[in-house]
Amino acid sequence: MSPLGKLRDAHVKRDLIRTILPKGDEPSYLYAVLVAGDVQLREEKVGGLLGRKSARRIRVPLPKTRTGRGSGADASVAGSRLLSMLGRAVREHRKGALDPSNPDALHRMRLAFKKYRYAREVLEPLLPRAARNGGKRLHDFQTLLGTIHDCDVILAEAASFRRDILGREKECALEIAFRSFREMRFGEFRRTAGTAGGLSRVFGTAVRS
């Protein structure tokens, strides 16, 4: 999964650059070339891994179905407790993540929210009917957090490449464009999760404060 995740990250960077700044100055172009080269290398690596017969080892056997009296109710209670715990972990990072100068806090909130969303998708059959059908809302919020994080990664990499490799102090066109795009998406994040009530609307009724 690690090579696939790194390939996904490389694809995201390449596609964001194509969308936000299809043309730019020389430092922007050189950084884009670097990203494109990284995509090619990671595609070759993943292609080689998937072509091996040993890739069959990633198959995971399904667990045996638990049956018996009361098992459904027990699983529902345990699932609700797990979601409550994961939801609290997300909320713990909310205030720090609202600081635009603290990308690490937003990154931690993003990781916590991913755990919550995927757990909820798995446990959804055990939830009350009122707590279901929130998949699009959760997906959209996770995508928003991911986009902001991707901008932070690109901004940090582009600045390091410009300073350490090219020896230039002035921000390139790519950095300026991505900083503006990040500010726009971060404003959307603050409108959505700026209050505890706003974040609760993202969760729906599955998790209560």
Mention every residue, 6+ apart, whose C-beta is less than 8 A from residue 41. none
Percent of the chain at pLDDT > 90 equals: 59
pTM, two decimal places: 0.83
Check residue 71 and give its pLDDT.
Answer: 56
Instruction: Tell which residue, 184, 207, 61, has the closest CA to residue 123.
Output: 207
Dist CA 54 CA 38 (whole Å): 25
Whether the pLDDT of residue 173 is over 50: the answer is: yes
Residue range 74-100: mean pLDDT, rounded:
88
The per-residue pLDDT for range 105-125, each reduced to its tens digit, is 999 999 999 999 999 888 887
Q: Are the C-beta atoms of residues 149 and 8 closer than 8 Å to each other?
A: no
pLDDT exceeds 90 at position 72: no
Return the beta strands (E) in 67-204 as ranges: none
- CA 43 distance to own-chain centroid: 21
Residues 40-55, mean pLDDT to the nearest whole number: 82
16-25, 69-78, 195-204: the lowest-pLDDT one: 69-78
Smallest CA-to-CA distance from 3 within 47, 33, 62 is with 47
pLDDT at 74: 72
Q: Is the pLDDT of residue 67 over 60?
A: no
For 137-156, what is the mean pLDDT?
95
